[in-house]
Structure 1
Amino acid sequence: MGSNAKDLISARLPPYEYPPPWIPPHEREHHPDYNADLEQFLPRNISLQRNEASEQLGFNIRGGKEHHCGIYVSKVMPGSEAERLGLHEGDQILSVNGVGFESIEHAEAVKILKKDSKIWMIVRNFPYGYHQTYDKS
């Protein structure tokens, strides 16, 4: 039982995003685009408390399972509690109140974020995935 190209299942893949340009080792220490601090990419906890569930979150999100990517912070309002707690544009939301956000639809993510006045999030700085969320149509 052989298979040929007609029998293969085709899938829509996200567009390829090229890696950043290579920086020679002898130039890295003083290069403005090079950062060897890997701790910036580790997950971190953010606990956000609102007075009531209807109060604004202080940030916007984009992405979702229907876009073949995770949920990312797209904007943090200046002066908001979210900004004070260290949330940044491009942070990937890994979970909210124990619910995984790595493979969730956008509408469901919004619903979970707006549900409670106390939000405990695990986020990470993952700019590669964030750039995949841009509308490239």
Structure 2
Amino acid sequence: MEGRTQYEEYPYPVVFLPPYENPPAWIPLQERIYNSDYNNELTRFLPRSILLKKPPGAQLGFNIRGGKASQLGIFISKVIPDSDAHRAGLQEGDQVLTVNNVDFQDIEHSKAVEILKTAREIYMQVRYFPYIVGFCFPDYQRQKERTVH
């Protein structure tokens, strides 16, 4: 047994966890809204509306990823800084729920691109859900993106 650490005798892998952090002190519900320890901004995950107007020949200023083939919805993978999309509040990690009353939660990627490219006025319902991009698209940076111009 010499030369072996104490963990090598276990038949299962040993996982070292980070040190435990105590949660913030309890604060009455009516006071939490004003307390920074409880400010988790859950409202940013609620659905919101985005309106974009696209003049002929103009770009929308964002890329999308996902679709029916990936069994996921359509997600905003990139927003061009200072674009109309950026100014309207669109952000990377937004899931596109609808565009002009068309459900985007179970749509082919190519159909989504076609709808976005051909519309002159785009009314989108989106919700911020950044976790899906890194989790379900682990090779996110290496995959080909489709730019919606």
Q: What TM-score, normalized to structure 2?
A: 0.67
Q: Which residue, 42, 45, 48 being the options, matches 1:38? A: 42
Equivalent residues in 2 for 1:12-23 (5 A)?
A: none
1:68 aligns with 2:71: yes
Q: Give the share of equivalent positions with the same residue, in percent.
A: 50
Q: CA deviation at 1:129?
A: 2.1
Equivalent residues in 2 for 1:46-65 (5 A)?
A: 46-52=50-56, 54-65=57-68
Residues 85-129 of structure 1: per-residue CA shift (max 9 Å, x gap): 111011110000000011111111101111111000000001222
- Is this contact kept in 2: 1:92–1:130, CA < 8 A? no
Runs of 4+ in 1 over 4 A off after TM superposition: none
Q: What TM-score, normalized to structure 1?
A: 0.72
Q: CA deviation at 1:37?
A: 1.5
Structure 2 counterpart of 1:90: 93
Aligned residues: 112
Q: Which residue, 97, 113, 118 being the options, matches 2:116? A: 113
Aligned-partner residue type, residue 101 of structure 2: G
Q: Name structure 1 gaps, 5 residues minimum.
A: 1-21
Q: Name structure 2 gaps, 5 residues minimum.
A: 1-19, 26-34, 144-149
Distance 1:74 1:35, change over 3 A: farther
Aligned-partner residue type, residue 139 of structure 2: D
Equivalent residue of 2:123, what SS? strand
- Is this contact kept in 1: 2:92–2:130, CA < 8 A? no
Provide the alpha-carbon RMSD of the alignment.
2.4
State the alpha-carbon separation in 2 of the partners of residues 37 and 118 from structure 1.
30
Q: CA deviation at 1:67?
A: 1.1
State the alpha-carbon separation in 2 of the partners of residues 62 and 35 from structure 1.
30
Distance 1:117 1:134, change over 3 A: farther
Q: CA deviation at 1:66?
A: 0.4
Residues 53-96 of structure 1: per-residue CA shift (max 9 Å, x gap): x4211100011110121100111111100000111011110000
